[in-house]
Chains A and B, each alone.
Chain A
Amino acid sequence: MTQKTLIIPIAWRSLWRNSRRTLITFAAIAVGVWSMITLAAFMDAWVGSVVHEATNNLTGHGQIHQQGYLDDPSVEYRFSLPPASLDEAMESPQIKAWNRRVRVPGIVRSERESAPITLIGLDPAREVDLSFYGNELSSGRQPKEGRTAEIVLGRRLAERLHTRIGKRVVILSQNSSGEIAESGLRVVGLFDASLEEIELGFVFITLQKAQSLLDIKDAVHEVAFTLYNPEEVQSEVDRLKQVFSDLELSTWSDLQPLAQTMQEMSAAMIGVWTVIMFIIIAFGMVNTLLMAVYERTREFGLLQALGMKPRLILSQVLLEAAFMVGIGVVVGMVISILSIYAFTDGLDLGPLAAGADLFGSGRVLYPKLDLIIIFAISSFVWIMGILSCLWPAWRAARRVPVTTINQSY
């Protein structure tokens, strides 16, 4: 065991024989590691934003529909359940929030313009923790409870229609008998949503008003829910499938496959970048160590002459590599943690928000400090770094003492 303590001071001090070279190597490794970790964090934030937008825009983590609704989201494919059974089924410790909704296509008409919309009837109080609609409105208020003739529009839609709070609009939609039902409603509130298509396309009225307009009694088109632990969605969906055997149950990734794809792709991209960056850093590392070993050829010969076994010499050089890579990695880790921390309040994509919107992301990215990823990447670089230095280390140990000691520079 004294053998190990033997090589530690030699390995450590040898690093500092040429401080400038060592520091430059640290810099290269640190920047490389910084880029790996920071990229991972921001990609995660991006994906997180896409998933958040995907689930927050009324999708939730899972939904229940009538069979056939998803292909043809019209008034036909509605279902009604005895309230008791629905309440009981949704009364699960996993489920954070849930709500019933009427959801059909329709048209909104103001004095000046008309536009296609999705008409949604729901109880706004239950949307808290379920979707963006549970947040405060940008102006005005929610419709009063009951069959009130009041409506909430997206702010941009109101602009498009040249209407505002206090004015009236007409909603048209097909009812259960196949006729076009019409209703005049007063605009009482406006909402903001981060995705433009939502602000332009969704309008909200009370559940009862929607049901009466469409003449569907107590039926609804959709039940959406969110969970405390989104990872559990599949098991929760399976459970609900048992209870509601003739209805269709979907997870958010069924409903928004794009978001799922993004997740997978970003994981792949992070992996690829890490490997590429590592290869480039590795060149620098191996080169530096090769040079260091070459310079100390005579020293290694001496060590062997003194009776140090080749294996120990190998270990010493590897230990040097471990220190060198290790410090670079730690520095890289620290600056990336600082970088990520600097953006805990979010990175606002500002003028490029519409572009982000196109990809499905919100306009602010929130990078998280995922210690597991950070340690995973750092460990990868450290271990692979040491492994790639095996070659110079082996060369150091391999040399025959005679030739090295008598070697002239």
Chain B
Amino acid sequence: MIFALARRNLWRQPRRTILSTLAIALTTTLMVFMLSFQFGGYLGMIESSMALFDGHLQIQVKGYKKDPSIRKTIDNPNNLLSKIIQNPKVKHAGGRANGFGLLSSPTRSFGAMIIGVQPEHEPGLSTVPKKIVEGRFFSQGADNEIILGQRLAQNLGLKVGDAVTLLGTGLNGSMAVDSLQIIGLFKSGIPEIDRRFAEMPLTRFQETFSIPDQAHSIVLSGASAIALQEEKENILALLDSDSNLVVLDWTELQPPILQAILLDMSSALLIYVVLIIVVTFSLLNSLLMSVLERTREFGMLMALGMKPAILGKVVWVETLMLILFGVLTGLLFGYAISEYYHQTGIYFEAMEEMMAEFGMSGSIYPIIHPFTLFAGPLFISLSIALAGLYPILRIRRLEPVMAMRKI
């Protein structure tokens, strides 16, 4: 009976009810879409920035990340690899070594980061092999081969097939000298990377830089950076308890990304709070009015014997129904829009360049997730429901005679 009353009461003022419902629906749609978009963007950012080189997890010597000295090596990396690959969540694993040296052609020299990689594992860990634009990636068991960033090769004046000289510092200050043949050039789209990075086979790196059977990091990849983050503890357990190795997830491998996400989240949070406050205020008047204008009627009902508590319940149900209409409508639209763009992606021409910095294309794919779908509607409902309590409290205080006298 209460429901029927509540429902009819809402339709006494159809215009007002519809306007209020629309306001709630609009805000809900906004929040659902914005949250989906926001988190889709974050995920994209994380995955893209890790995809190029970092993989999803890395095992390193403690302190190497902060201070990457060539001394901090992992012994017998292949042994560790065979242990780690047993974890079902790990799809690929491979060893890497990092060094720095001068690459020279007959006419030019440039400093570059040299990365030693394992050709058999690397394609599952990094997207560099896919980004080879000239030549090819390393063959299995490769030795005298090197891959350069396209810009680097251009600046050196070298092509695929040419030889390049490497001059660097190996372990304990020893000279690292080598001459390698360029077999491929890669283009990541990030100028800094294309100008300063080169890769060579790990075994050759170990020889040249005097770190036999050692590596600087074990790179792991699984379903995604977020997914593998959960496996951190398990991986750690596979290592010797007395070793000085640590497992790093994406927040530790690329701290700026985490901070950038937090920064964006805090400003987004502020925006959401403002949205909810404004829509609540906007509606508060409707809710108040719909009670106040019925003061005389309520007075009469109470005089006839209806308890204020029941009256309060009716009004409460009215408010809840209003919220429900609005939120459901908004949720539906929000979901529809997010799902549509989830499939097609939203392309920002202006953002294309900015995204290149993160290794992303200019498109963002909103994600559909219980949090992004329901968090917005939940808080909007809570806020308006709370505001709706105020008019109800006023009903409780009504005296029948006074109420009926009111105009």
Report A's interface with B, CB cutoff 8 A: 20-21, 24-25, 27-28, 31-32, 35, 39, 42, 72, 74, 105-107, 109, 112-117, 160, 172, 174, 178, 180, 257-258, 261-262, 264-265, 268, 273, 276-277, 279-281, 283-284, 286-288, 290-291, 295, 349, 351-359, 409
* Shortest Cβ distance from residue B124 to the other chain A in the assembled complex, whole angstroms: 27
Residues of B within 8 A of A265 (CB): 350-351, 354
* Shortest Cβ distance from residue A93 to the other chain B in the assembled complex, whole angstroms: 34
Residues of A within 8 A of B106 (CB): 178
Residue contact B112 to A355, C-beta cutoff 8 Å: no
Provide the main secondary structure of the chain A interface. helix
Interface check B87, CB cutoff 8 A? no
A280 to B30, CA, bound (A): 11
Stretch at the interface among B209-217, B275-283, B303-311: B275-283
A27 to B285, CA, bound (A): 11
A273's nearest neighbour on chain B, judged by CB, is B271
* Contact pick for B353, options A24, A257, A288, CB 8 Å: A257
Residues of A within 8 A of B262 (CB): 352, 355
* Shortest Cβ distance from residue A193 to the other chain B in the assembled complex, whole angstroms: 16
Known contacts A31-B277, A116-B111: A284-B259 contact under CB 8 Å: no
Provide the main secondary structure of the chain B interface. helix
Residue contact A281 to B278, C-beta cutoff 8 Å: yes
Residue contact B259 to A353, C-beta cutoff 8 Å: yes
Residue contact B112 to A72, C-beta cutoff 8 Å: no
Report B's interface with A, CB cutoff 8 A: 15-16, 19-20, 22-23, 26-27, 30, 67, 69, 100, 102, 104, 106-113, 154-155, 168-169, 196, 255-264, 266-267, 271, 274-275, 277-279, 281-286, 288-289, 293, 296, 350-351, 353-354, 357, 407
30 contacts between A and B (CB under 8 A): A32-B274, A32-B278, A39-B271, A74-B108, A109-B169, A115-B100, A116-B113, A172-B102, A178-B106, A178-B107, A265-B351, A277-B274, A277-B275, A280-B26, A280-B27, A283-B22, A283-B279, A287-B19, A287-B20, A287-B286, A290-B15, A290-B19, A295-B293, A352-B259, A352-B262, A352-B263, A354-B259, A355-B261, A358-B259, A359-B263
Residue contact B30 to A276, C-beta cutoff 8 Å: yes
Residue contact B69 to A112, C-beta cutoff 8 Å: yes
* Contact pick for B258, options A115, A261, A290, A355, CB 8 Å: A355
Known contacts A105-B111, A280-B275: A21-B26 contact under CB 8 Å: no
Give me the 6 closest cross-chain CB pairs, A-B, nearest first. Answer: A355-B259, A284-B282, A28-B281, A355-B260, A116-B111, A283-B23
* Shortest Cβ distance from residue A138 to the other chain B in the assembled complex, whole angstroms: 20
Residue contact A356 to B282, C-beta cutoff 8 Å: no
A265 to B196, CA, bound (A): 30
* Shortest Cβ distance from residue A203 to the other chain B in the assembled complex, whole angstroms: 12
Residue contact B26 to A174, C-beta cutoff 8 Å: no
A284 to B274, CA, bound (A): 15
A106 to B111, CA, bound (A): 6
A268's nearest neighbour on chain B, judged by CB, is B350
Residues of A within 8 A of B260 (CB): 354-356, 358-359
* Shortest Cβ distance from residue A329 to the other chain B in the assembled complex, whole angstroms: 14
A258 to B358, CA, bound (A): 12
A268 to B351, CA, bound (A): 12
Residues of B within 8 A of A27 (CB): 281
Residues of B within 8 A of A281 (CB): 278, 282
* Shortest Cβ distance from residue B279 to the other chain A in the assembled complex, whole angstroms: 6
Residues of B within 8 A of A172 (CB): 102
Residue contact A284 to B23, C-beta cutoff 8 Å: yes
A24 to B100, CA, bound (A): 65
B358's nearest neighbour on chain A, judged by CB, is A358
Residues of B within 8 A of A174 (CB): 108-110
Residue contact A284 to B281, C-beta cutoff 8 Å: yes
* Contact pick for A107, options B111, B154, B258, B277, CB 8 Å: B111
A357 to B282, CA, bound (A): 38
Residues of A within 8 A of B107 (CB): 178
Residue contact A258 to B354, C-beta cutoff 8 Å: yes
A160 to B15, CA, bound (A): 68
* Shortest Cβ distance from residue A390 to the other chain B in the assembled complex, whole angstroms: 15
* Contact pick for B285, options A25, A42, A352, A409, CB 8 Å: A25
Residue contact B357 to A258, C-beta cutoff 8 Å: yes
A207 to B277, CA, bound (A): 59
| Further pairs besides A28-B281, A283-B26, A355-B264: 12, Cβ < 8 Å | A21-B285, A35-B278, A112-B69, A116-B111, A257-B353, A261-B351, A261-B354, A283-B20, A291-B16, A352-B266, A354-B256, A358-B256
* Contact pick for B69, options A32, A113, A286, A357, CB 8 Å: A113
Residue contact A284 to B16, C-beta cutoff 8 Å: no
Known contacts A116-B196, A261-B353: A287-B278 contact under CB 8 Å: no
* Shortest Cβ distance from residue A156 to the other chain B in the assembled complex, whole angstroms: 11
A180 to B110, CA, bound (A): 10
B22's nearest neighbour on chain A, judged by CB, is A283
A106's nearest neighbour on chain B, judged by CB, is B111
* Shortest Cβ distance from residue A58 to the other chain B in the assembled complex, whole angstroms: 16
Residues of A within 8 A of B357 (CB): 258
Known contacts A112-B69, A116-B113: A349-B263 contact under CB 8 Å: yes
A224 to B109, CA, bound (A): 26
A116 to B98, CA, bound (A): 14
